[in-house]
């Protein structure tokens, strides 16, 4: 499949389905906010260097890395757009779960997820437009799609910000009700996330299969470098092992469900962008569990070495 064909593909959505996308986005962000507590943000005051350094690695480091990778690889414009969307999305609860499995610092991971989620209403749309417009081919694609910067920023900020504010207010003022809602809505939000990835993969199956030689290597390299960026940033900040693992997952795992919703609702379902975002949604979980296995194996071998050294 040629790059021109890849850029010309789009996922056709009916007005009704676009409405479903917007509702799904509201449900997802409201559910995320129901799980946020003031305590998740208190670590900022206690350990500003650790929290702000980790947040910077995700919110600034990953987009900068992505821009450099786009300049180096010069992918098709729609694929570059997908890469910028992925890099601009907040982390998700998957990073918290993988951190737990890998024996990382889960509390630290939760704090970083809380920060990236609450700032997403503003930073995600701003970051998407900023980085996309710095790369000429993607800037031309956005112009071609007739994406008005101000309407896009306002609509996306409202779609993300209002449910976040509502969810956090509910969690703060009515914690018992929030917990009951969260128990009910969390499976729904998870189903939406899985459904979006399935829809993204299925609707772009021909793109992924035929354009795999273009798309998959980019996804694998981009995701590996994202994990590496998180781990390297934590190492440079002299973090203990648990936090190195936490930040590795926090930067390498992104909320691709949110990215897919934005692409489907705001970018006319640009095929190359949807395909790479959907494929990332599958691959980053596979790569994450490979990392978990690596970390757990390292712990086991270290324990065995200690036992041997102590004559046990």
> What is the DSSP annotation of 175-192?
HHHHHHHHHHHHHHHHHH
Q: What is the pLDDT of residue 43?
A: 66
Structural domain span for residue 22: 14-300
Q: Is residue 104 part of a domain?
A: yes
Q: Is residue 103 part of a domain?
A: yes
Q: How far apart are the first and last CA of the chain?
A: 59
Quickly count: other Cβ atoms within 10 Å of residue 181's Cβ: 17
Q: How far apart are CA 155 and CA 143, in angstroms?
A: 18
Q: What is the CA angle 260-265-266, rounded to 5?
A: 100
Secondary element (H or E) of residue 162: helix 149-173
Q: What is the pLDDT of residue 2?
A: 47
Q: Is residue 18 part of a domain?
A: yes
Q: Is residue 2 part of a domain?
A: no
Say which CATH number the domain at 25 has. 1.20.1530.20
**Exposure class string for 105-131: b at 16+ Cβ within 10 A, else e:** bbbbbbbbbbbbbbebbebbbbbbbeb
Q: How far apart are CA 4 and CA 6, in angstroms?
A: 5
Total of domains in the chain: 1
pTM given for the model: 0.82
Q: What is the pLDDT of residue 19?
A: 63
Q: Is residue 8 part of a domain?
A: no
Q: Give the HSE-up count for residue 135: Cα atoms under 13 Å, Cβ half-sphere.
A: 30
**Mean pLDDT of each 10-residue bin along the chain, 312 residues long:** 52 55 74 73 76 91 96 91 92 83 87 85 89 92 77 76 84 85 79 69 65 82 96 94 94 86 72 82 89 92 79 60
Quickly count: other Cβ atoms within 10 Å of residue 215's Cβ: 26
Q: What is the pLDDT of residue 158?
A: 78
Q: Which residues lie closer than 8 Å to 231 by C-beta, 6 or more apart? A: 244, 245, 247, 248
């Amino acid at each position: 499949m040629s790059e021109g064909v890849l850029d010309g593909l789009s996922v056709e959505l009916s007005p009704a389905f676009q409405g479903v996308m917007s509702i799904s986005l509201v449900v997802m962000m409201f559910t995320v906010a129901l799980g946020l507590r003031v305590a998740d943000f208190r670590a900022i005051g206690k350990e500003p260097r650790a929290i702000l350094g980790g947040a910077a690695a995700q919110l600034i480091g990953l987009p900068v890395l992505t821009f450099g990778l786009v300049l180096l690889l010069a992918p098709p414009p729609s694929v570059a757009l997908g890469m910028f969307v992925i890099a601009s999305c907040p982390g998700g609860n998957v990073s918290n779960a993988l951190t737990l499995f890998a024996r990382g610092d889960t509390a630290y991971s939760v704090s970083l997820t809380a920060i990236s989620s609450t700032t997403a209403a503003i930073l995600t749309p701003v970051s998407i437009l900023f980085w996309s417009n710095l790369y000429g081919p993607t800037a031309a694609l956005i112009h071609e799609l007739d994406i008005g910067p101000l309407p896009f920023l306002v609509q996306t900020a409202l779609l993300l910000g209002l449910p976040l504010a509502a969810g956090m207010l509910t969690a703060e003022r009515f914690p018992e009700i929030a917990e009951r809602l969260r128990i009910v809505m969390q499976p729904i939000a998870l189903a939406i996330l899985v459904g979006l990835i399935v829809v993204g993969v299925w609707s772009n199956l021909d793109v992924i299969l035929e354009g795999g030689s273009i798309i998959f290597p980019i996804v694998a390299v981009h995701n590996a470098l994202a994990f590496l960026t998180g781990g390297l940033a934590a190492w440079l900040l002299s973090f203990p092992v648990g936090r190195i693992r936490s930040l590795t997952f926090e930067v390498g795992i992104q909320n691709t469900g949110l990215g897919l919703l934005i692409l489907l609702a705001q970018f006319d379902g640009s095929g190359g962008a949807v395909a790479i975002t959907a494929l990332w949604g599958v691959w980053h979980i596979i790569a994450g569990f490979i990392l978990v296995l690596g970390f757990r194996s390292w712990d086991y071998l270290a324990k065995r070495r200690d036992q041997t050294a102590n004559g046990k």
